[in-house]
Amino acid sequence: MTDQRAAPDVDKALVARILLSGDRRAFELLVRRHQGMVRAQLRRLAKGDDARADDLAQEVFLLAWRKLHQFRGEARFATWLYRIAYSCFLQAQRKQPAVVATIEAEDPPTPTTPPETIELKVDIERAMRRLSDAERVVLVHTVQLGLSHEEAAYVLAMPLGTVKSHARRGKDRLRGLLAEWQLPSQQDKRP
């Protein structure tokens, strides 16, 4: 298993190899290392339109190949890719607004999943869709992708204070929308 603390150094070393000698094999390694999370990010942003998200992800990596000399190593490589991905998503969104897929079509419940888990998942998904775009996008990046507020501000090109207030407001609204699931008591059940 890859040591998470060493990951940024590995990325930087791979970037250096590409810049120095145009090593395609090093770039392939970078794509393999990061495609999963970049595609996950874009799938969340595309609200279930996975094919569109994957097309965008391809564009993101092609753009990363062209723009690699602009990566200065101040942010993590993953964060830099998220920034490109978010920018590509916004550009695509301006050209062709996404068609929101239905929750049922995107994630059919399996017979082995307990019914209350399915209901909760569907309710969370619905609640997320009732947030404003900014609140949803901030929560996706800070909570689901695990970025710090500073990193999210860099990715989303938003002031840090705005990111924090969207995160706070988004969580408050989710708390209201999911009130019937008795969130604090769920917390108590956790080990």
Residues that bind other proteins (CB under 8 A): 18, 22, 24, 27-28, 31-32, 35-37, 39-40, 43-44, 54, 57-58, 61-63, 65-72, 74, 80, 83-84, 87, 120-121, 124-125, 128, 139, 143-145, 171, 174-175, 178, 183-184, 186-188, 190
* Minimum distance, C-beta of residue 125 to other proteins, in the bound complex (Å): 7
Closest to 53 measured CA to CA, from 64, 63, 40, 43: 43
Q: Considering the complex, state which of residue 6 and residue 183 has its C-beta at the smaller distance from other proteins.
A: 183
Tokens representing residue 4 in the block: 């998470």
* Minimum distance, C-beta of residue 83 to other proteins, in the bound complex (Å): 6
Q: Considering the complex, state which of residue 98 and residue 178 has its C-beta at the smaller distance from other proteins.
A: 178
* Minimum distance, C-beta of residue 31 to other proteins, in the bound complex (Å): 5
* Minimum distance, C-beta of residue 161 to other proteins, in the bound complex (Å): 18
* Minimum distance, C-beta of residue 18 to other proteins, in the bound complex (Å): 7
Q: What is the 3-state secondary structure (H, E, C) of the chain?
A: CCCCCCHHHHHHHHHHHHHHHCCHHHHHHHHHHHHHHHHHHHHHHCCCCHHHHHHHHHHHHHHHHHHHHHCCCCCCHHHHHHHHHHHHHHHHHHHCCCCCCCHHHHCCCCCCCCHHHHHHHHHHHHHHHCCCHHHHHHHHHHHHCCCCHHHHHHHHCCCHHHHHHHHHHHHHHHHHHCHHHCHHHHHHHCC
